[in-house]
Amino acid sequence: MDAQDIKQDLLTELLSENEIQARLKEIAGQIEKDYQGKDLLLVGVLKGAIMVVADLARAMSRHVEMDWMAVSSYGYGTTSSGVVRILKDLDQDIKDRNVLIVEDIVDSGLTLSWLQKNLISRGPTSVEVMALLRKPEALTVELEPKYIGFDIPNEFVVGYGLDYGEKYRNLRSVASLHPDVYSGD
């Protein structure tokens, strides 16, 4: 077998490339309506959100700005530690801006809940959240993202920005991993 072949590590495909892209187009249309006549700054949370930001922004025909934050919450494991640290902050001041935080996944919700509060303290006009995936069963805090792509079961998934040990982010779909892949942990 080819050790570089991603597909052999996957167990089940949860969301296909087409399903993801179709949903992102719907959400992009909704965002364009909701933010009509307003400025819009997408804040992508590195690294998982890079694919979502790239495809969501390109599904819109309006002006949109992008900025990035990097926070650490998980490290190399598969469960959330709840510890959030800013590794890279925004390049710009968000005072009086309409900010939409873009995430790949809401798991426990700790990262987003912390991030939302942090950004609100900087005096923006609004701070909303768009997350491609949400695991309702894993939520430990109250969090109401304005836009959600899909609710998924409480399983560890990879692909479309989501990693396991920094791999699988480049998969175009979202899938669960074969248990053999992490049996060595």
Q: Report the interface residues with ligand PRP, using CB under 6 A.
A: 45-48, 73-74, 80, 103-112, 163
Using the minimum distance from each CB to ligand PRP, give the nearer residue, 73 or 116.
73
* Separation in Å, CA 93 to CA 42, 84, 122: 13, 21, 8
Residue 108 near residue 84 (C-beta atoms within 8 A) = no
Measure the CA–CA gap between 61 and 122, rounded to whole angstroms: 28
Longest CA–CA span in the chain (Å) reads: 54
Shortest Å, Cβ 38 to ligand PRP: 25
Residue 22 identity: A
Q: CB of 108: closest distance to ligand PRP in angstroms?
A: 3
Strand-pairing partners, residue 101, are 43, 129
Question: Which residues does 26 contact at the CB level (< 8 Å), separation at least 6?
Answer: none
34 is annotated as an active-site residue: no
Catalytic residue among 91, 107, 163, 185: 107
Minimum distance from CB of 181 to ligand PRP (Å)? 16
Q: Is the CB of 23 or the CB of 34 nearer to ligand PRP?
A: 23
Rounded to a whole number of angstroms, the minimum distance from the CB of residue 61 to ligand PRP is: 27
Nearer to ligand PRP among residue 48 and residue 159 (C-beta):
48
- Which C-beta is closer to ligand PRP: that of 11 or that of 139? 139
Closest residue by beta carbon to ligand PRP: 48
d(CA 153, CA 133) in angstroms, rounded, equals 10
Catalytic center residues: 107
